[in-house]
A and B are shown apart, each in its own frame.
Chain A
Amino acid sequence: MSTRLANGGRRIDRTRPVEFRFNGKRLKGFEGDTLASALLANDQMMMGRSFKYHRPRGVVASGSEEPNALFNMGEGGKFEPNQRATTTELFDGLSVTSQNHWPSLEFDVGVLNNYAARFLPAGFYYKTFMFPRPAWKHVFEPFIRQSAGLGRAPDKETLDADTYEHFYFFADVVVVGGGVAGLQAAKTAALSGAKVLIMEQDPHWGGRAMVDGEPEEGFVQRLVGELEGMDNVTMRRRMMGAGVYDHGYLLGYERLRDHAPMLAGPRHRLWRIRAGQIITATGAIERPLSFAGNDIPGVMLAGAVRDYIAEYGVSPGDRVAVVTNNDDAYRTAIAVKKAGLEVPVIVDARAGGGGELAREARGMGIRVENGKAIAKVTGGKRVKSVKLCAQAGEGAVLEEVACDAVAMSGGWSPVVHLWSHCGGKLVWDEAEAMFRPDESRPPLNQNGAGFVRCAGAANGALDLGAGLADADAAGKGAAEAAGFKARGDTLPDLAQDDALPIEPVWMMPQGAGPKLRMKAWLDYQNDVKVSDVQLAAREGYESVEHTKRYTTLGMATDQGKLSNINGLAILSDTLGQAIPQTGTTTFRPPYTPISMASIAGEARGEIFQPVRRTPMHAWHEANGAHWEPVGHWRRPYCYLKGEETPHEAVSREIRATRASLGLLDASTLGKLIVKGPDAGKFLDMLYTNMMSTLKPGRCRYGLMCSENGFLSDDGVVVRLDEDSFLCHTTTGGAERIHGHMEEWLQTEWWDWQVHVVNATEQWAQVGVVGPNSRKVLEKLGGDVDISKDGLSFMGYTSGKLGEFDARIFRIAFAGELSYEVAVPASQGRALWDALWDAGEEFGVTPYGTEAMHVMRAEKGFIMIGDETDGTVIPQDLGLHWAISKKKEDYIGKRAQERTFMQSSDRWQLVGLETVDGSVIPDGAYAVAEGENANGQRNVQGRVTSTYYSPTLDRGIAMGLVHKGPERMGEVIDFPGTDGTIYKAKIVDAVFYDPEGEKQNV
């Protein structure tokens, strides 16, 4: 059984017991435990079920490479699936449940898949489930989905109870990894004066050296102290280098509250770091060995077994068999023995066995079997014994050795993920049997120079002394590359330990037959076995990417940290080619999964996106505004009174406005000031009509096209004085059109003398609309003349309106006598209130965007975004009067000369009047006879705007119809999606006051 040892455990504080819950059971651990070590201490070796066969799974590792020990953690707004036990620090009240089983971890129905495993090889689903056709969707897929997936989905209605944030940071040198190599590299770099950031994903500095021995007593503590004393160094623990991106961009994933959820503050902080140079001292990950039954709970990585004993004072078992192809695993045997536990046998696949460490182990009386292998592990939910055989043979069992844990080591693989994210290449190191970074082909930065280097074990320097020297060189190199003068540090001199070389063992025993290969796991979580990879190769899925995708090898939540190298070695072996020829799959960020919430950062709820507010926003809010998002603005769609529906409100607002007086908050309209000697010339290019001839104090409606000829914006242009114009744009258009103007001025006509400023938000603007609009303005008084002749239609004046500094434009979008009054935004709310009070006697009514839309439609005015959709040219809308014939050029003119734009077959704007007065549905198309070559019904037009007009008490619409203007009076059919056919007569688009008398009073 696994249990807590009487002593040992560098990380835990035995004076501070911690209580936690596992599947409802109350268990005890100590502060400093990880969830994994605490579960082991409670003899909970089995921690989950595998993905495909639902086989029992125990913890195999002690770090972020762990594929098995994943849990549903927390409750309510703090619930999270797939939490990795090996990287989850224990805290009081922590509560987890195991995953991917039903009804329980101990008894799981899904395990049936296991008994059928033989019928479910890699990719079996590509070959089956095809008949009958509907069965895939209704039978097979639902079944597969249910048995797949790992953790529980968080509750759909519960909001995340935590907060998250980002942080921008800049450094000359960033070191990822706080083991001895990282610390040394950071120090050497920092000595040059460079600004250095070093991060460690664990809560502790020092890494494996704290288990396997420091270069010298207190080395780590000393280095950490020195670094803490340097003010050009920033040190972060619990922060993982998640991904390396172009131009030195590095993501740091800092877990601030995972270990202390009771404290205030953000849970995660995502660092967006811009690094001059990056050093990855991310260490190495131990590889499992591929023998039958290597997935049975109790089979663990040798290094992990050592960690649990040394760091947490936890023994994975009383009798730990060790199996290896290298010297390092002997450290585990020695550690186990020193902890007072049994090591029945060390199985060393190498005929020659190990070196110094092997002698030490033998000296302690441990039995060592060279040239031997594990033929098979027995046991179901826990290891019972190992059956030994000759590594050279096919697995004939020589003897059975009882044990309750197996510590395996297939050698170590440098963690090259961060090196590879941005294009760093790898070389295969034959001697050490591993891929390591190819220094000659690093990822390149904006200057075409390498910006990542690896240090220590991550660079393939597994030996402590070599690793330190490598780290020192990396620190020096990085500092120099970042532009600093650097020198190496003085290092403790360490004797090269005389380990005997590793001998690659990809299959154990090497001659294992199909039976054994079908039980030798590569990917524990996804249930990929040696036989699966061999099958893929046999079927021609020869590219490592094909094999990965066909077998799902390395696609589990550990992204193949344990399985990839073993898998591609098997693949290479099967294809009879060298490992480098096979190559690796692409390493993609993040190194280990990071929370979606940390990626979203602060952008949630009210600050998910900016909401733009006008100075009158609060008034609208307080007066029943029914909001409509327009770009980032919120505009009142209408104002709801009492129980009325939006539709009723819109009708009321229109009637009141046409009858007496309405107010519209028009502040969102774009207002661009264009000034300079060439301003007129510039606007003549920008608009389809002639603007240079506009007289000061006058307004003119203008159209803007894209260079591709399509109508892109419209608005009223005002000539403020001789050399300055005010261009109104649509609400959505202000920034876009401002950018458009700057683009042409800066990149095409840079010699023209024109300046543009976006004054949109300087002005609050109110549409004062209706027969009584003049009266209410006159009530406000002031020195401006707004009389019929003083300010004629399409005229502009400015001055004091009451106490306000106002600009007044007499323009009419609703077809009534109306004015647009603009005042500085800081006076906007006051103006609105003043108009409200003064308008009371006229039954003043605020109206929203929908009433505005309907009223302009009644007048036959087009609306950008309704009549236009990016495929419409002004000529389609019968706006020829607004297209200057005199001008040689304007933006879009050339495009409009193209054959299809000139075609007489283009659909043209007309009014549409339903025969029965009903309202044509939004977006309906007018059908024509027959079908096209693709069997689609022919069409001859579509509706662009369609409303119920309270003024005319009937449905009105505008639409684009083939040769429309020539077909006045003709009735065409608009089939609705509801089956009814709407018959509409083609009429003039102006439904209300065609003579325009109302606006000219």
Chain B
Amino acid sequence: MRRYSAFAVAREAARYHTGWERAWRSPEPKKKYDVIIVGAGGHGLATAFYLGKNHGITNVAVLEKGWLGGGNTGRNTTIIRSNYLQDPSAALYEKARSLYETMSQDLNYNVMFSPRGVIMLAQTEHEVRGYKRTAHANALQGVQTEFIGPERVKQLVPIINLEGPRYPVLGGLWQARAGTARHDAVAWGYARACSDMGMDIIQQCEVTGVRSEGGKVTGVDTTRGAIDCDKLGMVVAGNSGPLAEMAGFRLPIESVALQALVSEPIKPCMDVVVMANTVHGYMSQSDKGEMVIGGGTDGYNNYTQRGAFHHIEETVRALVETFPMVSRLKMLRQWGGIVDVTGDRSPIIGKTPLGNCFINAGWGTGGFKTIPGGGWATAELIAKGEPGPLAAEFGMERFIEGRFIDESVAAGVAH
């Protein structure tokens, strides 16, 4: 693989950039692989990458029905944070966050991780208590967060209106080392690295069936023929239900639409990410200058990647109230993605009723921020056949035992 660097760019400039090679190969599927990962989104590609990097397994195919990174990886609001309340979540999300810090160097692809800091606003006494609790938990979990007062919030977010007529800002949970990254670049960087390890990323290849013998997976049928494998990883956010059905089991998951929008680009006016959960809106400013805005999910099963406009309305009015200057901006584009939501709104990383078939699903609104951590944990699960510490608590059995991982309790929603 030709390394990327300023020198490489300069060298190529001399010949009008005609010498650049493909970022990833586009091979024909082989007959058999050690491991097949279904889904070339962030989590799927990261899983493949760490299978190779951490476990030396490189005879791997990543199958993608569309174009890589075209699902939620390319539709989210790119927020990366790990200020979660429950131990298992904090461990997983913090692992992911720390991997993001060195991702550009690890992949030799600039994913523009920007540790600009994330504030979750506390606008009721209840939220104040909830976030103080999270701050205490984080301190013991090795996650650096602090509860800050209104003055500090205003300092960090000059455009905020502390004295909104409805919900005054009483403080916030501040994670300085949280931030954002360029979402497409994460998928592209992993794809390039996987391809370089000899893995096959096969786009336009939809899985149509899961083959098994004696309760163990043996391969998949695809629109490009049957492909055998020893182990199968299902990493298909927004599609987990139908794929599980092919494998003959059901999931504690419902798929719903999540929407986001961006404003027209303006000059820099907000350096951090702000989440206002009481009023259901969050916002950051992209490097291009667009205000990137997200809100809540629709209340019904939906696979259209389109949501109802009234959710956009709720989010926008919340932000106009919190940041009055937003009122004079314009919405440039709105879109939707399909997120899989589990019974406790925490993800599933674990074994399935089908032998040698493993699943990574149910990220709800937390998928992008966990890409490297989820990939790391899923790779370990697939390589060893058993979950490691990171994934231990995220198995499906928790729903039978009543051992939930509930993040909604800390007044926070899992955006």
Chain A residues in the interface with B (C-beta under 8 A)? 51, 79-82, 118-119, 121, 124-131, 133, 136-137, 141, 144-146, 148-160, 243, 245-246, 249, 251, 272, 422-423, 514-515, 518, 531, 535, 538-543, 545-546, 549-550, 552, 555, 557, 559, 586, 588-590, 593-597, 599-601, 603-606, 608-609, 611, 628-630, 637, 708-709, 865-866, 869-871, 895, 898-901, 921-925, 927, 932-937, 939, 942, 975-977
CB-defined A-B contacts under 8 Å, sample of 17: A119-B13, A126-B189, A127-B9, A141-B112, A243-B309, A243-B334, A245-B306, A531-B17, A559-B333, A589-B333, A595-B327, A600-B316, A866-B129, A923-B134, A932-B389, A936-B142, A977-B147
A-contact 0/1 string along B5-47, CB 8 Å cutoff? 1101110110011101111111000000000000000000000
20 extra A-B contacts, CB within 8 A, seeds A555-B288, A975-B136: A121-B12, A130-B105, A131-B105, A149-B266, A158-B325, A245-B309, A246-B306, A423-B306, A543-B70, A596-B316, A601-B317, A603-B313, A604-B321, A628-B125, A870-B408, A901-B402, A924-B136, A927-B140, A934-B91, A977-B139
CB neighbours of A935 from chain B (8 A): 91, 142
Whether A600 contacts B308 in the complex (CB less than 8 A), given A590-B331, A865-B126, comes out as: no
Tell me the bound Cα distance from A922 to B334 in angstroms. 39
Residues of B within 8 A of A595 (CB): 327-331
In the complex, are the beta carbons of B332 and A593 less than 8 A apart?
yes
Residues B319 and A923 in contact, CB atoms below 8 Å apart: no
Among B102, B189, B389, the residue within 8 A (CB) of A133 is B102
Q: Are B320 and A604 in contact (CB under 8 A)?
A: yes
User: Are the CB atoms of A151 and B317 closer together than 8 Å?
Assistant: no
Least Cβ–Cβ distance between B267 and chain A, in angstroms = 4
For chain B residues 398-415, which have a beta carbon within 8 Å of chain A?
400-404, 406, 408-410
Does B110 lie at the interface of the complex (its beta carbon under 8 Å from any beta carbon of A)? yes
> Nearest A residue to B285 by beta-carbon distance?
A145
Assess the A136–B110 pair: CB atoms within 8 A: yes
Contact residues of B between 280 and 338, Cβ < 8 Å to A: 285, 287-289, 304, 306, 308-309, 312-313, 316-317, 319-321, 323-335
Asked if B266 contacts A155 (CB within 8 A), the reply is no
Assess the A126–B109 pair: CB atoms within 8 A: yes
A423 and B264 CA atoms in complex are apart in Å by 24
Contact check, A127 vs B5: say whether CB atoms are below 8 A apart. yes
Q: Which of the 9-residue segments B157-165, B238-246, B359-367 touches chain A?
A: B157-165
A643 to chain B, nearest CB (A): 20
Residues of B within 8 A of A148 (CB): 265, 287-289
Q: B390 an interface residue at 8 Å Cβ cutoff?
A: yes
- With beta carbons under 8 angstroms apart, the residue of A245, A542, A555, A600 that contacts B320 is A600
Of chain A, the residue at the smallest CB distance from B115 is A137
Least distance between A159 CB and chain B CB atoms (Å): 5
Contact call A922/B128, Cβ cutoff below 8 A: yes
Residues of A within 8 A of B110 (CB): 125-130, 136
Residue positions of B touching A, CB distance < 8 A: 4-6, 8-10, 12-13, 16-18, 20-26, 66-67, 69-70, 74, 87-88, 90-91, 101-102, 104-105, 108-110, 112-116, 123-126, 128-137, 139-142, 146-147, 158-159, 164-167, 182, 184-185, 188-189, 203, 263-269, 279, 285, 287-289, 304, 306, 308-309, 312-313, 316-317, 319-321, 323-335, 389-390, 392, 400-404, 406, 408-410
CB of A124 within 8 A of CB of B9, answer yes
Given the contacts A601-B313, A608-B317, A900-B401, A934 and B390 also touching, CB distance less than 8 Å: yes
CB pair A137 B142 closer than 8 Å: no
Q: How far is B400's CA from A542's CA once the two chains are assembled, in angstroms?
A: 45
Q: Which residue of B lies closest to A945 (CB)?
A: B129
Give the CA-CA distance A871 to B89 in the complex, in Å. Answer: 15
- A-B pairs with lowest CB-CB distance, top 9: A923-B133, A149-B289, A153-B269, A593-B330, A898-B402, A933-B389, A543-B67, A127-B4, A600-B317
What residues of A have a CB within 8 angstroms of the CB of B409 in the complex?
A: 869-871
Given known A-B contacts A922-B129, A923-B135, A82 and B166 have beta carbons under 8 A apart? no
Contact of A246 among B130, B304, B389 (CB under 8 A): B304
| Bound CA–CA A158/B264 (angstroms) | 19
Known A245-B306, A549-B184, A599-B313; judge A149-B288 contact (CB<8 A).
yes
Report the number of A-B residue pairs with Cβ-Cβ less than 8 Å: 328
Measured between beta carbons, the chain B residues less than 8 angstroms from A898 are 400-402
Q: With A119-B10, A150-B289, A605-B165 in contact, is A515–B321 under 8 Å at CB?
A: no
- Can you name the residue of chain A whose Cβ is closest to the Cβ of B14? A118
For B411, the closest partner residue in chain A by CB is: A869
B266 near A925: Cβ-Cβ < 8 Å: no
* Chain B neighbourhood of A539, CB < 8 A: 20-23
Say yes or no: B287 contacts A141, CB within 8 Å: yes
A786 to chain B, nearest CB (A): 34
Q: How far is the CA of A597 from the CA of B319 in the complex (A)?
A: 10
Determine the chain B residues whose CB is within 8 A of the CB of A900 once the complex forms.
401-403
Are B104's CB and A136's CB within 8 A? yes
Kindly report which residue of chain B lies nearest to residue A119, judged by CB atoms: B13
Indicate which residue in B16, B125, B137 contacts A531 across the interface (CB closer than 8 Å): B16
Shortest distance from the beta carbon of A371 to any chain B beta carbon, whole Å:
27
A328 and B116 CA atoms in complex are apart in Å by: 52
Bound complex: CA of A79 vs CA of B266, how far in Å? Answer: 13
* Interface residue from A158, A518, A540, A939 paired with B324 (Cβ < 8 Å): A158
Residues of B within 8 A of A133 (CB): 101-102, 104-105
Q: What B residues does A423 contact at CB under 8 A?
A: 304, 306
A154 touching B325 in the complex, CB below 8 Å, given contacts A127-B5, A596-B263 = yes
Chain A residues within 8 Å of B91, by CB: 934-936
Q: Are B132 and A923 in contact (CB under 8 A)?
A: yes
Q: Indicate if the CB atoms of B23 and A540 lie closer than 8 Å.
A: yes
Q: How far is the CB of B282 from chain A (nearest CB, A)?
A: 15
CB distance from A587 to the nearest CB of B (A): 10
Q: How far is the CB of A48 from chain B (nearest CB, A)?
A: 13
CA distance A637 to B124 in the complex (A): 11
Closest residue of chain B to A923 (Cβ to Cβ) is: B133
Contact B266 A150 (CB under 8 A): yes
Contact flag A899-B402 (CB < 8 Å), given A540-B24, A925-B137:
yes
Query: Complex Cα distance A60/B65, Å?
Result: 40
Q: Which residue among B20, B134, B265 has the maximum number of chain A CB atoms within 10 Å of its CB?
A: B265
| A977, B135: Cβ atoms closer than 8 Å | yes
A158-B324, A549-B74 in contact; A588/B333 too (CB < 8 A)? yes
Known interface pairs A604-B317, A922-B133. Does A118 touch B325 (Cβ–Cβ under 8 Å)? no
B330, A130: Cβ atoms under 8 Å?
no
A128 touches B389 (CB 8 A): no
CB distance from A556 to the nearest CB of B (A): 8
Give the chain A neighbours of B135 by CB distance below 8 A. 923, 977
Closest to B398 in A: A900
Q: How far is the CB of A163 from chain B (nearest CB, A)?
A: 11
| Of A118, A159, A975, the contact of B139 (CB 8 Å cutoff) | A975
Residues of A within 8 A of B400 (CB): 898
Chain B residues near A599 (CB, 8 Å)?
312-313, 316-317, 331
Cross-chain contact A136 with B185 (CB below 8 angstroms): no
Contacts of B410 in A (CB 8 A): 869
| Cβ distance A537 to chain B, nearest Cβ, rounded Å | 10
Contact between chains at B264 and A540 (CB < 8 Å): no
Q: In the complex, what distance in Å separates the CA atom of A869 from the CA atom of B25?
A: 50
Is the beta-carbon distance between B306 and A937 smaller than 8 angstroms?
A: no
Q: State which of A557, A559, A608 has its C-beta within 8 Å of the C-beta of B166.
A: A608
Q: Please name all residues of chain A whose beta carbon is closer than 8 Å to the beta carbon of B335 when the two chains form the complex.
A: 586, 588
CB distance from A253 to the nearest CB of B (A): 10
Q: Quote the shortest CB–CB distance from A445 to chain B (angstroms).
A: 13
Residue in B12, B189, B335 whose Cβ sees the most chain A Cβ within 10 Å: B12
Q: Give CA–CA (A155, B104) in the complex, Å.
A: 35
Complex interface: chain A residues within 8 A of B166 (CB): 608-609, 611, 629
Q: Which residue of A lies closest to B269 (CB)?
A: A153
Chain A residues near B268: list those with CB within 8 A.
Answer: 145-146, 149, 153
Q: Which of A146, A546, A609, A921 contacts B67 (CB 8 A)?
A: A546
